[in-house]
Amino acid sequence: MSEPSSILRQYEAIAGITRRMLVEARANNWDQVVMLGRDYQQAVEALRGIDTLSTEDRQARLALLTQILDDDARIRHLAAPELTRLGALLGDMKRQHTVLQAYCTPTLTL
């Protein structure tokens, strides 16, 4: 097989980023996952300016896309509990704010 096309190399780069994101998600390093997510978005955006794949590279692209999607599903699975926890915290903060407004705001009398 000939050297991979530039688009295939870009898919390989994206697969590498998602693999690192999964490693960081497993380690509960969510700040790093977010930073890598920016790299991921840039890498995906770069695909728009690259020519189409040759026939021989399509099979390799399929394997990379499968890996990327599998990593994405695993990252989402790991992130779900954290998102639920953050949602609960935000709900608690909103309730506290409402209570504070109701009981601590001075009443205006006219």
CATH number at residue 27: 1.20.58.380
Is there a domain that residue 57 lies in?
yes
Tokens of 26: 């497993």
Domain assignment present for residue 109? The answer is no
CA–CA separation, 65 vs 59, rounded Å? Answer: 10
pTM for this model (two decimals): 0.65
Query: Is 110 among the domain residues?
Result: no
1 located within any domain: no
pLDDT greater than 90 at residue 27: yes
**Domain range for 43:** 6-104
Is residue 37 domain-resident? yes
Residue 98 lies in a domain: yes
Read off the pLDDT of residues 77-104 as tens digits, 9 standing for 90 and up: 888 888 888 888 888 788 787 777 777 7
Residue 43 domain-assigned (yes or no)? yes
Task: Please state, in angstroms and rounded to a whole number, the distance separating the CA atoms of residues 85 and 8.
Answer: 38
Structural domains of the chain, count:
1
Give the position of tokens 């690259």: 50
Quick one: what percent of the chain has pLDDT higher than 70?
Answer: 90
Of the ranges 7-11, 42-46, 91-95, which one carries the lowest mean pLDDT score? 91-95
Q: What is the mean pLDDT of residues 22-27?
A: 94
* The CA-based dihedral angle spanning residues 41, 72, 31, 9, taken in that order and rounded to the nearest 10 degrees: -50
Residue 107's pLDDT is what?
Answer: 56
With respect to residue 49, please indicate whether it lies within any of the assigned structural domains.
yes
